[in-house]
Amino acid sequence: MKLIIHGGFFSESNTNQEVKKAKQDALREIVTLGHKYLESHTAAQTVVYAVHLLEDCDLFNAGTGSQIQSDGKIRLSASLMDGKTQKFSGVINIEDVKNPICIAEKLMEYDDRVLSGLGANSFAANNGFTYYNPEIPQRRKEYEKKLSDSIRLGTVGCVALDIYGDIAAATSTGGKGFEIPGRVSDSATTAGNYANAFAGVSCTGVGEDITSGSVATKIVTRVTDGMPLSVATAKTLDEMKPYDGFAGIIGICSNGDIYHADTHPYMVWALHDGEVEVFE
């Protein structure tokens, strides 16, 4: 029974130790709550629970505190992959909701399991998800001063291995900030969030790079074919070098191996395998 979560790359100034510590403390608390929840819930239920806690924490770029796009609006994307059932569900560019991962979970009950834009919003409203503005003053200030001209890399995710040996992965993002409205990130695709009976992976970084590399899918497929998780990850990230791909991953495989890797430093993540560990 294991759990690993990430809070994206540390996008603020790396000299801001106060923000850095706050993120590490938040990850420590959430991974502890998530592992406790995993004791009595499935992997799929647990990754939704952990990611919704990450979405509720305004330190991270998902749910509350998400980045503002170039037209001044916040649009959220999230997905869930259940390795046991091999079902994937997600929402893309949904607006005015608090927890997009919970809407992705609800879509698991339907044949049409990935919705975008107005369709996703209508589905949320029709299923009792109330209006919520995820904007916080800091993001509005950043938007107004155009501080997001540089790439800001914030996504949250969770991968869990439950007591039944089943694996699930969930990922949520508020985007990179100042993107063209309608841009689709990797977080609501199998390139950025994938799991099966053998392994599960959640990604963060530059969505276009991760999608180009089909990162999560490649890693899980290679593990399925017998490659160790660490080797599968290294090979997949190496394949991003020709275009200087920017990505980080967290993963768990069915034998209990738990792994993290990134192509650039300062990814924040935490794991719980009976003991809590938090990393920059």
Catalytic residues: 155
> What's the rounded Cα separation, in Å, for the pair 70 and 64?
18
Beta bridge partners of 232: none
d(CA 36, CA 40): 8
- What is d(CA 119, CA 112) in angstroms, rounded to the nearest whole number? 11
DSSP letters spanning 67-113: PP-TTS---EEEEEEETTTTEEEEEEEE-S-S-HHHHHHHHTTSS--
| Residue 42 known to bind ligand | no
> In the structure encoding, which two tokens stand for residue 178, read together?
């100042």
Q: CA end-to-end span of the chain, whole Å? A: 23
Is residue 32 a known part of a binding site? no
Consult the annotation and say whether 11 binds a ligand.
no
83 known member of a binding site: no
Check whether 72 is labelled as a binding-site residue: no
Per the CB < 8 A criterion, the answer to whether 79 and 189 are in contact is yes
Q: For residue 271, what are the CA distances in angstroms to 40, 112, 201?
A: 18, 33, 14
Whether 204 has a binding-site annotation, put simply, is yes
Residue type at position 164: Y
Is residue 185 part of an annotated ligand binding site? yes
> Does the annotation list 113 as a binding residue?
no
**Annotated binding-site ranges for substrate:** 183-186, 204-207
**Annotated binding-site ranges:** 183-186, 204-207
